[in-house]
Structure 1
Amino acid sequence: MGGYDYLRLAAAILVIAHHARVLDGRPPLMLGGGADLGALGVGIFFVISGYLVAGSLARAPSLGVFVAKRALRIFPGLAIALLFTAFVLGPLVSTVGLGDYLRDQAPYGYVLRNLSLYAVTYDLPGVFLAAPMAGVVNGSLWTLRLEFTAYLALAALGAARQATTRPLASLAIIAAGVTIGLHVAGLDARGDFFRIVYLASLNGFLFLAGAGFWTSRAAPPVWLAIVTIPLLLTPLWFLALPALVVRLGALPLPRPPVDLSYGLYIYSFPLQQMLAERGALNLLSSLALALPCAALSWLLVEKPALRLKTRLTPPTPRTVLSPAAALSD
């Protein structure tokens, strides 16, 4: 599974590289007529998540344990990142005085609303108002709502005994069709509603495709991953991603000692906004600030939280939510 760890790290760096341009007021780098670097990085995350979370669902002794494990992966690291942003970084960069800032309800609401995942808010008092993308504190948070919704949807399929290859493939085809239809009709960038539907169907397809590959227990052949690569340069780029990611993820690489991908993802955006306000934003400066935060997040928050997952699983796990054979955690 080591290949997936390196792919997640690469995906986080792609997102940071994308933001290093757009938060500085420059146009994004595009893969031909396909995705920008940010969409590609997020897409890789969703394929990996679908693949690995389907395995977690199959091994879970109950739906409650499955959801609890997913919560332990997302919420502890997110909570500390939100507190750091609202009450350490925010006061340091805000144009509002410290007393007025702390008396304002917005920083507290920022933490609580974003911790809910579904009431995302992006602003803090006087923070990043001079940045090219003014007032947006952490524009990466929207994907966590989609991610957790995908977990819940997969859990619902598991409860209905439908978390198997055929239903997942059918849903993935529907999601791909909606994505293509919205793009062809030019609705994917027209208004918030259509944009949300487009992003949900796009990333939903990637998640379902990853989950489908896991339930089928069949790694895509090398030839399939290779022949789909040219699609990455077209508007149909997302169709190529699942086979390519799962094939690369299956490489027998040693596990890295730390997993920095999540920390990089949730800390980098506000740090890049701070750099943008000071005219010092680039990929290297972004990584120089984000990597220490990601390392501390992993060592002090995420890794200890993930240790709690072992207490939720009995010594001999049994598959109750999927007919697929259980794998050891």
Structure 2
Amino acid sequence: MSTELYHTHPRFRNNFDFLRLFTAVYVVMLHSYGLTGQLDNEPLRSWGSTTFNFSFVRLSLFFCISGYLVMQSAMRSTGLGDFAWRRLLRIQPLLIVVTLVSIFIIGPLFSSLDIATYFKQLQTWTHLRNIFPPTGIQYNLPGVFQANSVETSVNGSLWTLVIEERLYIACMIIFFAGSTGKRKAYIFLAIAYNLIYIINTNLWHFSDSIIINGNAAFYSLMFVNAGLLFHLNIDFQSHKKIIWLPLLLLLTLAAAHFKNCFFLLIFIVPCLVMEIAFSRSFLNRTARFGDFSYGIFLFSFPVQQSVISLTNGNITPIPLFAITILITLPLAVLSWHFLEKKMLSLKHRPWFKKIPPPSTSSEPRH
């Protein structure tokens, strides 16, 4: 990339790439403690509470960033096929690779079953469903990581993709069921979803459905409300950060402190994340050499489980984190340059009208 393009390209005028990378690396650290049974000893976790902790921070960043950028993708897409194609190109290629690696390499190497028996198990082949998370995730493979004392999942990180890709499908229905009024339809349905969640959570509990109750609904609303901010055309780049960032941070801490106000975080946190995302700093250049966040996210959990198995569980969080990063980062770099980047270059198919990218940020990435 030329120096001139580097300084003028939209993606280098925000912190979305940094926040994605931060979130991916923090997932590795969080799981390093969780998979060794020491989650309560994780240093940053001790600063928070049972609800407002650094897992909350990680998930909030993940869903807010995704919600905002996916709305951009939906609005620039020429139709259902264009939008679906963009999403599939971003999520599925590497997910297919990781799923196949799990079945045909990790499985035979770490299963307590012999290879012939392993491949005769139906569970081995139903693991292929992980290629398309909206149908649900299968976390285990026959006999694999069964000696790992804390967790036997091959890739426990994938649960977030179930929610995210189901939200993609919801976006498809909203944006492409009709030909006009997409923005207004989204705003109306987003407000309705918020009201139903708030009523069910705080005023009259009428349903235990995960759609409007619990963590899945809470983080789905982070996604939805971040998208709502995009549709409201708020110019976060022009805001005075010295005022808005401290104010939103204080509101976040206050809402988290008072149990009856916790639901307000679904509105406050997306605003805070966008203020951070649209701040100008040297961190804007994070993805100059590539976007490695998705590769780190997908590869890290199987790598951690493999390391724990090879060490018979005799490893502590910090060495596990260091070893995982040393293995995962090169895999993520290779994945970006030889797979993800090439797949994204196919996003404009001949039967889709090519539309210039928006001026506010980059093509949505995990």
| In structure 2, C-alpha distance between the alignment counterparts of 1:63 and 1:56, rounded to whole Å | 11
Counterpart in the other structure of 1:258: 290
Residue 347 of structure 2: SS of its match in structure 1? helix
Q: Give the one of 263, 277, 280 matched to 1:249.
A: 277
Counterpart in the other structure of 2:3: none
Q: Give the one of 105, 109, 119 matched to 1:102.
A: 119
1:170-181 superposed matches below 5 A: 170-171=191-192, 173-174=194-195, 177=198, 181=202
Of stretches 87-96 and 139-148 in structure 1, the one that deviates more from structure 2 is 87-96
**CA deviation vs aligned residue, 1:4-58 (integer Å, no higher than 9, x gap):** 0110000111221111111111134254224333332222111111111111111
| In structure 1, C-alpha distance between the alignment counterparts of 2:190 and 2:199, rounded to whole Å | 14
Give the letter aligned to residue 7 of structure 1. L
Question: How many correspondences in the alignment?
Answer: 317
Change (3 A) 1:151 1:86: same
**CA deviation vs aligned residue, 1:267-314 (integer Å, no higher than 9, x gap):** 111111122332235321221222122222212221111111032642
1:51-90 superposed matches below 5 A: 51-90=68-107
Of stretches 126-135 and 60-69 in structure 1, the one that deviates more from structure 2 is 126-135
Is the contact made by 1:94 and 1:128 (CA closer than 8 Å) also made in structure 2? Answer: yes
**CA deviation vs aligned residue, 1:143-177 (integer Å, no higher than 9, x gap):** 11111111121222223434347426514633762
Residue 349 of structure 2: SS of its match in structure 1? helix
**CA deviation vs aligned residue, 1:204-254 (integer Å, no higher than 9, x gap):** 111112111211221344333322214256463554421121112113423
Change (3 A) 1:325 1:261: closer
Counterpart in the other structure of 2:249: 229
Residue 345 of structure 2: SS of its match in structure 1? helix
Is the contact made by 2:187 and 2:231 (CA closer than 8 Å) also made in structure 1? Answer: no
Is the contact made by 1:58 and 1:326 (CA closer than 8 Å) also made in structure 2? Answer: no
Change (3 A) 1:296 1:38: farther
| In structure 1, C-alpha distance between the alignment counterparts of 2:362 and 2:210, rounded to whole Å | 41
Is the contact made by 1:15 and 1:39 (CA closer than 8 Å) also made in structure 2? Answer: no
Counterpart in the other structure of 2:160: 143
Residue 152 of structure 2: SS of its match in structure 1? coil
| In structure 2, C-alpha distance between the alignment counterparts of 1:309 and 1:195, rounded to whole Å | 31
Q: Give the one of 327, 334, 340 matched to 1:296.
A: 334
Residue 274 of structure 2: SS of its match in structure 1? helix
**Structure 1 unaligned runs (5+)?**
319-323
| In structure 1, C-alpha distance between the alignment counterparts of 2:199 and 2:138, rounded to whole Å | 27
| In structure 2, C-alpha distance between the alignment counterparts of 1:170 and 1:218, rounded to whole Å | 17
Q: Give the one of 6, 20, 30 matched to 2:32.
A: 20
**Structure 2 unaligned runs (5+)?**
1-10
Cα RMSD for the two superposed structures: 3.1
Counterpart in the other structure of 1:321: none
Is the contact made by 1:7 and 1:44 (CA closer than 8 Å) also made in structure 2? Answer: yes
| In structure 1, C-alpha distance between the alignment counterparts of 2:34 and 2:120, rounded to whole Å | 32
Counterpart in the other structure of 2:66: 49
1:157-168 superposed matches below 5 A: 157-159=174-176, 160=178, 161-164=181-184, 166-167=187-188
| In structure 1, C-alpha distance between the alignment counterparts of 2:211 and 2:307, rounded to whole Å | 28
Is the contact made by 1:16 and 1:38 (CA closer than 8 Å) also made in structure 2? Answer: no
Change (3 A) 1:305 1:97: same
Give the letter aligned to residue 174 of structure 1. L
Change (3 A) 1:158 1:125: same
Counterpart in the other structure of 2:307: 275
Is the contact made by 2:30 and 2:39 (CA closer than 8 Å) also made in structure 1? Answer: no
